[in-house]
Amino acid sequence: MRRRVSFVVVGILGLILGACLMMLLRPTKSTPAPAWPVVEVAKRVEPSVVVVLNQRKVGGRVETKGMGSGVILNRQGDIVTNYHVVQGADVVTVVLASGARYPARLVGIDPPTDLAVIRIHARNLVPIRFARSADIQPGQLVVAIGNSLGLTHTVTVGVVSAKDRVMYRDGWEYHLIQTDAAINPGNSGGPLVNDRGELIGINSSKIAQAGVEGIGFAIPSDTVRAVVDQLIAYGRVRRPWIGATLQATPNRQMGLLVVAVAQGGPAFQAGLQPGDLITAINGQPVSSLRDVVHVLEHLSVGGVVEIRAIRGNLPLTVRLRLEEAPSSRLRAS
């Protein structure tokens, strides 16, 4: 009897040991790795990205001469793209992520920032969300989405290389975000977004020359928001103007020399004269034309500025009301 009990105990212990071994040897389910954030970013942003076709009328036919990208701004159908994407177009066509095609109307253009707004009439549009480009930091993850080389909704990844790169093209000065995310022909007008899928820039250009790789540029979202708001409201960007031609002096510390004053313009009405030396605008010392632009770009048409100047050996202070710069009166046609 005692032997039978021993066998039973041994058998039970064997079963328990075997079960334990089976549990130890059984493959465990691996915890899924966190998803690469770019996957979710691309899914979130894709409905807000469109194809923009630049089409020309040739011999009674409409032919596509160029293709770029655009970003949906609101449910009313406003779309931002690059000015050079739609420049010279007889017909502009927008293709949504769903494949639906719509004719677009040009709302406004701004060559100095290479931005344009076009409008379509469509339902269920998905506007992109904006982030402040002033808050971005070099090294942060960014995703560029566009229609590069004719391939729609291409996704590239990189980082912010620099926040404020000054570039010059066609006589204009651009303040841009530099990124190493690949930006190729067709990406122009598409979004550069952060890891939350929020717009921090509009892709604009790429340095393409032998030995140079990984340098792309985007127009900062703070600039984009300010420009598109005016394009939608006025069809143009109303830039302030003081109505005087200024020139830097050999001694840059002295200020800016007034070379000419526009008849009837703001400077003329305020009493400024050729030969006056402007030393400060609204308390900000000025010694270059860029200094003047820095002051004026934060002001609006109709605002009043205080100008300190020197006439001969006498200090002079005048107040003038800013008017719209004649060169900014470009409208979409």
For residue 312, give every residue at least 6 positions away whose Cβ sits within 8 Å of its Cβ, in sequence order, or none.
Answer: none
Q: How far is CA 316 from CA 271, 272, 308, in A?
A: 10, 9, 6
For residue 171, give every residue at least 6 positions away whose Cβ sits within 8 Å of its Cβ, in sequence order, or none.
Answer: none
For residue 15, give every residue at least 6 positions away whose Cβ sits within 8 Å of its Cβ, in sequence order, or none.
Answer: none
Instruction: Measure the CA–CA gap between 202 and 70, rounded to whole angstroms.
Output: 9
Q: What is the pLDDT of residue 210?
A: 46
Contact 159, 216 (CB under 8 A): no
Give the mean model confidence (pLDDT) for residues 12-35. 58
State pLDDT tens for residues 162-175: 998 887 766 667 88
In the chain, % of residues over pLDDT 70:
82
Q: Which of 104-118, 182-196, 319-333 has the highest mean pLDDT?
A: 104-118
Torsion angle defined by CA atoms of residues 150, 171, 241 and 328, in that order, rounded to the nearest 10 degrees: -40
Tokens at 239, concatenated? 């830039």
Instruction: Choose between 150 and 318: higher pLDDT.
Output: 318
For residue 326, give every residue at least 6 positions away whose Cβ sits within 8 Å of its Cβ, in sequence order, or none.
Answer: 241
Domains (ranges, CATH) in the chain? 40-119 (2.40.10.10), 129-234 (2.40.10.10), 240-328 (2.30.42.10)
Q: What is the pLDDT of residue 209?
A: 47
Q: What is the pLDDT of residue 134?
A: 93
Dump the DSSP string for 179-240: E-S---TT-TT-EEE-TTSEEEEEEEEE--STT--S-EEEEEHHHHHHHHHHHHHHSS---E
pLDDT at 191 over 60: yes
- Residue 302 three-state SS: coil
Q: What is the pLDDT of residue 155?
A: 92
Instruction: Choose between 248 and 30: higher pLDDT.
Output: 248
Q: How far is CA 207 from CA 62, 70, 184, 308, in A?
A: 31, 21, 10, 41
Q: What is the pLDDT of residue 248?
A: 87
Residues identified as active-site: 84, 114, 188
Q: What is the pLDDT of residue 7?
A: 52
For residue 84, give every residue at least 6 positions away whose Cβ sits within 8 Å of its Cβ, in sequence order, or none.
Answer: 114, 188
Instruction: Measure the CA–CA gap between 173 and 223, rounded to whole angstroms.
Output: 13
Q: What is the pLDDT of residue 333?
A: 42
Strands (E), 266-313: 277-281, 284-285, 304-311
Contact 261, 243 (CB under 8 A): yes
Q: How far is CA 159 from CA 27, 95, 193, 311, in A?
A: 39, 28, 10, 51
State pLDDT tens for residues 220-249: 999 999 999 999 999 999 988 899 999 988
